[in-house]
């Protein structure tokens, strides 16, 4: 049986009120008495149920999600998962709001973080733009005891507490292996569509992709990266122009903007065979898998990422440990044959 506050009070020879003061680090307890209570806690192996204590006190966790304002299907899906979390707020005792900032704009992100430092939410989850000024703003907030989780794209080298997202280098390596195996001995060029090299997830996917291509598929040449800023219209224009190159036999879309990619592929590839690997399972990429416009999709579970960010922020706010295995975000591979 787990020890209780009654056991602590009996072992220390004090009242329940005194035990409560020590557990909640409130004043009014003599040093010698505090030591007796803390000794009893250690000897009994008492572990405080913070969640139950917060429930009893009616504590609510104000949380903020910072997302890029972007017209791409993945971010729409991420927003939808946050809205689902808002619906669960009464049961999870959260108060969640979303702030959108211009995509790939470090200054705008820093401005929001500085404003939040004055509002003092319980935790912040953010899709990070990897820039020195963003890293400095995050580090300042962490030093001020704000729990911060990066979402989808990490901010490596910062003091952020946790990253809720897939291993993006592994994702890029996986894309390269799929594309190389699908193409077999064919020689040709590979077009790569990214959002922006300002975000770490895109840089890491490209790093992993290029490493495997160079080591294992040297007969496939990677063309200069097209940066579509995760905008379907920009992506459409860039891919449509690139596909005028008859040497392209494969496409890797490592970011969003896939609606534009799909439109360009349908317009330009009627008389050619292209192998295409893309990221994120959405209504548009699902349809493109089914009609063979795209060959494989690498997907991250946006719902798991949002739920993970909330769990970690609440744990950090309470000073509790994070269960790493529970928060590991898996990378799914979908073909038309195994669509959920």
Strand order in the sheet with 94-102: 94-102, 61-69, 123-126, 148-151, 162-164
Which part of the chain has CATH 3.40.50.2300? Answer: 59-164+302-329, 168-300
Question: For residue range 31-73, what is the model confidence (pLDDT) as tens digits?
Answer: 999 999 989 888 888 866 655 566 555 678 999 999 999 888 9
pLDDT above 90: residue 318? no
Which part of the chain has CATH 1.10.260.40? Answer: 5-48
Tokens read off for 259: 């609606």
Question: For residue range 211-259, what is the model confidence (pLDDT) as tens digits?
Answer: 999 999 999 999 999 999 999 999 999 999 999 888 999 999 999 989 9
pLDDT above 90: residue 2? no
Higher model confidence: residue 9 or residue 52? 9
The domain defined by 5-48 carries CATH number 1.25.40.10: no
d(CA 88, CA 63): 13
- Give, in words, the CATH class of 168-300: alpha beta
Closest-CA residue to 147 (of 128, 161, 164, 127): 161
DSSP-derived 3-state class of residue 217 = coil
pLDDT above 80: residue 161? yes
Mean pLDDT confidence for 130-139: 97
d(CA 331, CA 321): 24
CA-based R_g, the chain, Å? 25
pTM: 0.82
- Per-residue confidence (pLDDT) for residue 27, from 0 to 100: 81
- Give, in words, the CATH class of 59-164+302-329: alpha beta
């Amino acid at each position: 049986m787990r020890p209780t506050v009654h056991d602590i009070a009996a072992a220390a020879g004090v009242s329940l009120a005194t035990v409560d003061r020590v557990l909640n680090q409130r004043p009014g307890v003599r040093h010698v008495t505090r030591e007796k209570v803390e000794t009893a806690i250690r000897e009994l192996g008492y572990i405080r149920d913070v969640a139950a204590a917060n429930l009893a006190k009616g504590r609510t966790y104000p949380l903020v999600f910072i997302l890029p304002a972007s017209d791409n299907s993945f971010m729409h899906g991420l927003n939808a998962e946050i809205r689902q979390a808002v619906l669960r707020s009464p049961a999870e005792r959260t108060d969640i709001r979303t702030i959108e900032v211009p995509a790939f704009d470090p200054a705008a992100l820093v401005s929001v973080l500085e404003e939040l430092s004055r509002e003092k939410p319980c935790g912040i989850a953010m899709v990070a733009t990897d820039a020195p000024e963003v890293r400095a703003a995050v580090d300042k907030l962490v030093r001020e005891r704000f729990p911060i989780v990066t979402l989808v794209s990490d901010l490596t080298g910062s003091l952020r507490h946790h990253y809720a997202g897939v291993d993006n280098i592994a994702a890029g390596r996986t894309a390269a292996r799929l594309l190389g195996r699908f193409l077999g001995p064919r020689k040709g060029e590979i077009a790569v569509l990214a959002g922006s090299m300002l975000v770490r997830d895109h840089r890491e996917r490209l790093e992993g992709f290029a490493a495997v291509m160079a080591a294992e598929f040297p007969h496939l040449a990677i063309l200069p990266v097209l940066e579509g800023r995760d905008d379907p219209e920009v992506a459409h224009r860039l891919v449509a122009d690139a596909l005028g190159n008859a040497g392209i036999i494969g496409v890797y879309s490592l970011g969003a903007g896939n609606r534009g990619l799909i439109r360009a592929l349908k317009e330009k590839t009627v008389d050619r065979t292209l192998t295409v690997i893309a990221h994120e399972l959405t209504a548009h990429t699902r349809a493109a898998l089914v009609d063979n416009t795209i060959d494989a999709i690498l997907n991250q579970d946006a719902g798991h990422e949002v739920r993970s960010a909330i769990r970690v922020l609440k744990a950090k706010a309470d000073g509790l440990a994070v269960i790493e295995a529970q928060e590991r975000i898996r990378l799914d591979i979908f073909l038309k044959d195994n669509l959920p």
